[in-house]
Amino acid sequence: MKKPTSNHIWRCVFYYLQLCEARGQASDTIRGKKSGLKKFFVWCLTQNIRYIDDVTLDLMDSYMAYLNRYRQVLKDAPLCLAQKRNLLTFVKTFIEKMHAKALLDTNPLLHMELPSKGRALPKAVFNEIEVEKMLSYTLQFGTRGYRDRVVMETFYATGIRRTELLHLDIDDVNLSDNLLRVNHGKGNKERIVPISPRACEWIAMYLTKIRPHFASIASGSALFLANNGKQYKAGKLSEMVGRYVRLCGMKRGGACHLFRHATATIMLDNGAELRHVQEMLGHADISTTQIYTHVSLVKLAEVYNRCHPSALSAERLY
């Protein structure tokens, strides 16, 4: 790929995204970077800034102030700490790469301080009863509903990411040993995770009776097929799961990731060790998995009811 002949911000962004793709970064990661850098570029235009040479620490201070004032269009809500940190990180990493590629003589954002991202907990955590309700609801919709059930059953049984599921091949499922190979993990890391016998039964049924209804010459070896007979696209998976969340009357938002949250939380509630949940989810850092210990409240409630004077008090108000 050729370096841009101009240091225009958007031309450099396009080059940067090509570099990210060449490094094998996940499509969701690249999509997020593109969206974040586009937001920065559009803001720069309002400041009459068009070239990466004009990106300075002072400019980033102004951008931080803008993000602090920004209101999300649909919710009319401010950005959370993690969102602001991510948007600033996108710019800092982008400028760092432009310096590494000799498009900038120096890295003006080398000493840029990022705000703390805090510790955001999952907003939509569904319990076992709610998940089972969604899974059962799919069976009202014929062949497509059965296909959707198998997709969501796999999400729930394994806790894998959306991108990991859409890249599954038929050979990645070992139905006899109840194992699943995740071959497109984050950072291109493969892992093998257990998958429940119930999920394997659904997949076996899907392969023999449901998948042939969708398969075409373009299907290849993809395990799960969209309505057009091709491998699912990430957005379509989210649309499908989100539709069942709404149809079941759930008041919380959520799509594919809700199964990941549910898997982690329910396993911890049932006594799983943190490092085993980390291995299931494919987290590189156990601190990421530890977030779920603050959502898993069963053990905390047991200790509270056994130890706190207010919970132990026999006095009741009537």
Sheet holding 179-182, edge to edge: 173-174, 179-182, 191-194
pLDDT at 226 over 70: yes
Q: Which amino acid is at 92?
A: K
pLDDT of residue 240: 93
Catalytic residue among 92, 161, 167, 261, which? 161
Tokens at 177, concatenated: 């040993």
Domain boundaries, the chain: 9-100, 128-300
pLDDT in tens, 117-167: 666 666 667 888 989 999 999 999 999 999 999 999 999 999 999 989 999
Contact in structure between 244 and 137 (CB atoms under 8 Å)? yes
Task: Decide if 299 is catalytic.
Answer: no
- Measured between its terminal Cα atoms, the distance across the chain in Å is 75
Question: Alpha-carbon distance 231 to 245, whole Å?
Answer: 23
Average pLDDT for the chain = 89
Average pLDDT on 38-65 reads 96
Identify the band that residue 318 occupies on the pLDDT scale cut at 50, 70 and 90. Answer: low
Model pTM score: 0.71
Cα dihedral 197→199→200→204 (10° resolution): 140
Question: Alpha-carbon distance 211 to 141, whole Å?
Answer: 15
Task: Decide if 257 is catalytic.
Answer: yes
CATH 1.10.443.10 at 128-300, yes or no: yes
pLDDT at 315 over 60: no
Task: Decide if 161 is catalytic.
Answer: yes
Give 169's contacts (C-beta < 8 A, 6+ positions apart): 183, 221, 222, 223
Identify the band that residue 68 occupies on the pLDDT scale cut at 50, 70 and 90. Answer: very high
Task: Decide if 283 is catalytic.
Answer: yes
Identify the band that residue 317 occupies on the pLDDT scale cut at 50, 70 and 90. Answer: low
The phi, psi pair for 125, rounded to 5°, reads -115, 115
Task: Decide if 261 is catalytic.
Answer: no
pLDDT of residue 123: 67
pLDDT of residue 29: 87
Q: Which amino acid is at 254?
A: G
Task: Decide if 66 is catalytic.
Answer: no
